[in-house]
Chains A and B, each alone.
Chain A
Amino acid sequence: MGAGPRQVREAGPAQPGQREHGALAGRWARGRRMADAALFEFLHTEMVAELWAHHSDPGPGGQKMSLSVLEGMGFRVGQALGERLPQETLAFREELDVLKFLCKDLWVAVFQKQMDSLRTNHQGTYVLQDNSFPLLIRMAAGLQYLEEAPKFLAFTCGLLRGALSTLGIKSLVTASVASLPTCKFQVVIQKT
């Protein structure tokens, strides 16, 4: 009947902060890293959508301008990343070292995975292949949406070009998709 005050006993470790903190810290840190990746993906999706919605000329002229705006944004970000990421590493000895840095350190920093393959013809052309590109993997697996794929690659092309330019290499980067989510980035070094 008359329910007296219930005794609520606090169960748990004597110092609640201490022991849990270690376990939680790991989980929080992982969560923060996942949050970074998710934030970048959403931001990128919105950027592409925004640039596509606004241009009044839906023909090929307007499309190319949106692609070059995206590429320009990627270029500036790539320039900054090209300065910050190799900060602790020693000086690069040759071009191939720079490309390897792009495939390993840059890709891991931006997409949390390494590039799957790097091929070269040793005459200034490199092909970087990513078998499950994070910005495409949410869209489809196969041939659906193949025509939409290039606009999602423009920013990344600029990113590569910007990082290369900070590291002293003038280049031209194009991307091609044969089937989602595999894509290839072709880097052609411009000899001045």
Chain B
Amino acid sequence: MAVCVAVIAKENYPLYIRSIPTENELKFHYMVHTSLDVVDEKISAMGKALVDQRELYLGLLYPTEDYKVYGYVTNSKVKFVMVVDSSNTALRDNEIRSMFRKLHNSYTDVMCNPFYNPGDRIHSRAFDSMVTSMMIQVC
């Protein structure tokens, strides 16, 4: 269960960012912002690697004492960043992968919506409800 989910465009501005309502939501925004550097590093490392397979899932970007940050990049260089509570040790790698896959599918649906202009913030209710299902249920 995620604590914060963000979709970042190719030009590194947020298309969608949502966190659970706490007193200090800004810290999640900062975390996502700083994780972008790590994402760029991983992408360029991937480019230099001689491995044939280039995965879309980037894995754990960096851990802090309370939270873990995971990343995923699509072929169109749109990045998904997910912040997860560290105390939730039950979350396995393939669960995170499936959450990212759901995000990717919903994002593709948003992109195919003719009323959506690529580059705008995402206001789709279907996308919102999919993200709600992934976030921690508070109260």
Q: What's the Cα separation between A166 and B108 when bound, in Å?
A: 12
Q: How far is the CB of A50 from chain B (nearest CB, A)?
A: 17
A28 contact set on B, CB distance < 8 A: none
Confirm or deny: A177 has a beta carbon within 8 angstroms of a beta carbon on chain B. no
User: Does A168 contact B111, Cβ atoms closer than 8 Å?
Assistant: no
**CB atoms of B111 and A167 under 8 A apart:** no
Give me the interface of A with B, judged by CB distance under 8 Å. 76, 79-80, 82-84, 86-87, 89-93, 166-168
CB pair A80–B73 under 8 Å, yes or no, is no
| A91-B108 contact, Cβ under 8 Å, with A79-B118, A82-B76, A167-B76 | no
| 0/1 interface trace, chain B 39-66, chain A, CB 8 Å (1 if under) | 0000000110000011110000000000
Known: A79-B118, A80-B111, A83-B108. A90 touches B56 (CB 8 A): yes
Looking at chain A's contact residues, is the secondary structure mostly helix, strand, loop, or mixed?
helix
Instruction: Let me know if A90 and B54 touch, CB within 8 A.
Output: yes
B9 to chain A, nearest CB (A): 11
**Chain A residues within 8 Å of B55, by CB:** 90-91
Which residues from chain B contact A80 at a C-beta distance below 8 Å? 111-112
A168 touches B104 (CB 8 A): no
Prevailing SS type, chain B contact patch: loop
Known contacts being A82-B76, A168-B77, is A90 close to B53, with CB within 8 Å?
A: yes
B21 within 8 A of A: no
**Interfacial chain A residues near B73, Cβ < 8 Å:** 91
Interface string of B50-90 (1 = CB under 8 A from A): 00011110000000000000000111110000000000000
Would you call B76 and A84 a contact (CB within 8 A)?
A: no
Contact indicator per residue, chain B 106-128, by CB within 8 Å of chain A (1) or not (0): 01100110100010000000000
**Known contacts A87-B104, A90-B53, A91-B46; is-contact A168 B10 (Cβ 8 Å):** yes
- Complex Cα spacing A89 to B54, Å: 9
In the complex, A83 Cα to B75 Cα: how many Å? 8
A165 to B127, CA, bound (A): 23
CB of B75 within 8 A of CB of A84, answer no
Contact for B75 among A76, A79, A86, CB less than 8 A: A86
| Chain A residues whose CB sits within 8 angstroms of the CB of B118 once the complex forms | 79, 166
Contact between chains at B114 and A168 (CB < 8 Å): no
| A82, A83, A86, A90 pick with most chain B CB within 10 angstroms | A83
